[in-house]
Amino acid sequence: MDGSLALLFALVATADLHFADCATPRCAAPAPARTALQYGEVLFQRERQGGELYLQHHLAARYGRLEPVIGLSVSADGDAWLGAGLQWTGALPHDSFVQLSLLPGLYAPMDGPDLGHALEFRSSAGVGYEFDNGARISLQFDHRSNGGLSDPNPGLETFGLRVALPL
């Protein structure tokens, strides 16, 4: 996997802000804070590495359809990643949605793979359903890499199920 998800996020977020006329401060608005928990299977060079728990918190703010988020993940190998960035959520029919995000963060390997750098970018794409009470469930695909900051840059993928609850 390369930087395709990060590029897709940048294009969609920029286009959304442009077409929503977010050049004015009126796009900044409060939004419900959410906390999400994701369990996923980690793949490194197409080999299963084990499970990962990913805790994500969406701050109570929004700029258009962009939300600031912070995240922390810990793998079965003890590897940890901590980051902050933006998530875009677009509506689909029948209370479903699509999400894209990009969060730069710090990676601390323990017994897991060497990703080549302490700074790792986590980009993701997901699709899910939002219930009437604001709770969400989604399937997510994450990719982490150092974005070419150093060599090697092998990347890491996670396929997961995420549950997000409004606070």
d(CA 96, CA 105): 28
Q: Across residues 156-164, what is the average pLDDT?
A: 96
Asked if residue 1 has pLDDT above 60, the reply is no
Q: What is the pLDDT of residues 58-117, one digit of tens each?
A: 999 888 889 999 999 999 999 999 999 999 999 999 999 999 999 999 999 998 888 888
Whether residue 25 is contained in a domain is answered as: no
Domain count along the chain: 1
Whether residue 97 is contained in a domain is answered as: yes
Domain CATH code at residue 43: 2.40.160.20
pTM: 0.90
Whether residue 140 is contained in a domain is answered as: yes
Quick one: pLDDT at residue 148?
A: 84
Q: Residue 54: which domain range?
A: 4-19+30-166
Whether residue 66 is contained in a domain is answered as: yes
CA–chain centroid gap for 22, Å, is 22
Asked if residue 162 has pLDDT above 80, the reply is yes
Quick one: pLDDT at residue 72?
A: 98
d(CA 105, CA 118): 8
Q: What is the pLDDT of residues 2-50, one digit of tens each?
A: 678 888 888 888 887 777 767 666 677 788 899 999 999 999 988 899 9
- The SS3 of residue 65 is coil
Q: What contacts 24+ positions apart, CB below 8 Å, involve 66-75?
A: 66/13, 66/16, 66/17, 67/31, 69/101, 69/103, 70/103, 71/103, 71/105, 71/122, 73/158, 75/42, 75/49, 75/50, 75/51, 75/112
Quick one: pLDDT at residue 2?
A: 67
Whether residue 39 is contained in a domain is answered as: yes
Whether residue 24 is contained in a domain is answered as: no
